[in-house]
Every structure is written in structure tokens, then in C-alpha cells.
């Protein structure tokens, strides 16, 4: 049975620099957290809102962008006022316009005031929104070195379909290979399952 596997970046690409504690700094009181949204999003750090499709993540973020622009609480949570840029990769301009109209009405805001304050919502539903590209030739050459692998076929993302030679315990071979080459194995599932079931939130740290 073929296996679909997904690997993370090579361990040696992550950097191995280790620095000890700054004793003088740690003996003093730490600075307070600089929240953009109190208790949710820190200034200068990446945040993530996740959930299944259709639950309203994009709408929630458009509401957040509006509240941040106008200096209003978001879902009752205090935040810092500032200009906001939202890149919408799934919804078209008309849908974003309709949503913004409804958001403004619910908050008692005028569209002109919101735009003047610094809200910008850009529809990218008809554009390429690729954030990164993988070095597939190098990855494929590496995966072909797994003992017992007959063919390697690229799938979506950093995902590969491995067809084993007869009599090969492909799962054991992949795990051993990941340990030897200090790879992070993010997920592995038999081809018979749907792609939606392929990747679970698994991390196999390098030994």
C-alpha cells in the first residue's frame, strides 16, 4: 500500500545558535506585554485564527480590522488603534463591500469615516496567493534514498506519494529515514484515505 508523507524543513536549515540567559536582564523586572488586541495578539508577533471553512474567520478579521482602524473594542476586547490592511484571498470585492457595509451599520459608522481612518481591504480571490515554493527536485532526490521506495510522486504542498517495493515496511523505513536525516515528519497516511484525512496535527521530532 502506498503511503502519503509530509516532511518539514531539514533540521540544519533551522539554525543551531544557542545563547544563554542574559543574567543582568533577567534579574530586572520584564517589560509588560505590548498587546495589539488585549489577551489575543501581541505587537510584532504573528497570530493565527483557525477553524473549518465557512465558520466566519474572514468576516471576523474584517470586523477586527474595522475596530482597530476606529479604535473600538473588538468583541468587547480592548485594542490599540491603528491603520489596518486586510488581504482577502477567497472573497471578491463585491462580497467584501457588502460585509463592510453591514459591519459599519452594526457599529454605527460611516463608510467614508472608516476608509479615511485607514482601513484597506484588498480582494485577491482572482490572483495567485502562493506564500512559498518548495525545492521539489532536491526533496525528491532525498526521498528516493529511502530504502525500499520504488517511486516518488509529488502531491500538493510539501506532500509526497511513496510507492514501496514488494515486501517493504514503508512506514518503518520512513520513520528511520526521518531520524537519520533529522527531518520532521508532519504526517503519514495510507493512500486509500481521502486527502482531507491525510494530514493530522502530528509532529515527529528528530531524535
Per-residue pLDDT of the chain (207 residues; tens, 9 = 90+): 555 556 555 444 545 567 788 889 999 999 999 999 999 999 999 888 888 888 999 999 999 999 999 999 999 999 999 999 999 999 999 999 999 999 999 999 999 999 999 999 999 998 887 765 555 566 677 777 888 888 777 665 566 777 888 888 877 888 888 778 777 665 555 554 433 333 333 333 444
179-186's contacts with Cβ under 8 Å and 24+ in sequence apart are: 179/206, 179/207, 181/10, 181/142, 182/10, 182/11, 182/12, 182/206, 183/7, 183/8, 183/10, 183/11, 184/7, 184/8, 184/9, 184/11, 185/5, 185/6, 185/7, 185/8, 186/6, 186/7, 186/8, 186/158
**What pLDDT, on the 0 to 100 scale, is given for residue 203?**
35
**What pLDDT, on the 0 to 100 scale, is given for residue 194?**
37
Find out whether 84 and 69 touch, Cβ atoms under 8 Å. Answer: yes
The CATH fold assigned to 3-14+134-197 is Alpha-Beta Plaits (3.30.70)
Instruction: Quote the CA–CA distance of 183 and 9 in Å, as a whole number.
Output: 7
**What pLDDT, on the 0 to 100 scale, is given for residue 182?**
73
Report the SS3 class of residue 116. helix
User: Taking the domains of the chain in order of start, what are their residue ranges?
Assistant: 3-14+134-197, 35-123
**What pLDDT, on the 0 to 100 scale, is given for residue 176?**
82
Amino acid at each position: 500500500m502506498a503511503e502519503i508523507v509530509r516532511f518539514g524543513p531539514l533540521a540544519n536549515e533551522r539554525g543551531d545558535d544557542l545563547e544563554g540567559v542574559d543574567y543582568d536582564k533577567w534579574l530586572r523586572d520584564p517589560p509588560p506585554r505590548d498587546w495589539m488586541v488585549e489577551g489575543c495578539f501581541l505587537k510584532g508577533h504573528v497570530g493565527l485564527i483557525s477553524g473549518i471553512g465557512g465558520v466566519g474567520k474572514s468576516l471576523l478579521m474584517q470586523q477586527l480590522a474595522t475596530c482597530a482602524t476606529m479604535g473600538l473594542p473588538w468583541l468587547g476586547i480592548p485594542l490599540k488603534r491603528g491603520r489596518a490592511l486586510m488581504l482577502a484571498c477567497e472573497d471578491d470585492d463585491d462580497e467584501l463591500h457588502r460585509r463592510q457595509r453591514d459591519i459599519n451599520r452594526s457599529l454605527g459608522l460611516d463608510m467614508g469615516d472608516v476608509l479615511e481612518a485607514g482601513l484597506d481591504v484588498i480582494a485577491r480571490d482572482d490572483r495567485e496567493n502562493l506564500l512559498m515554493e518548495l525545492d521539489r527536485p532536491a526533496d525528491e532526490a532525498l526521498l528516493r534514498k529511502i530504502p525500499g521506495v520504488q517511486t516518488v510522486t509529488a502531491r500538493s504542498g510539501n506532500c509526497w506519494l511513496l510507492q514501496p517495493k514488494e515486501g517493504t515496511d514503508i512506514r518503518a523505513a520512513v520513520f528511520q529515514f526521518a531520524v537519520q536525516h533529522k527531518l520532521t515528519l508532519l504526517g503519514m497516511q495510507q493512500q486509500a484515505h481521502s486527502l482531507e484525512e491525510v494530514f493530522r496535527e502530528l509532529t515527529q521530532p528528530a531524535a
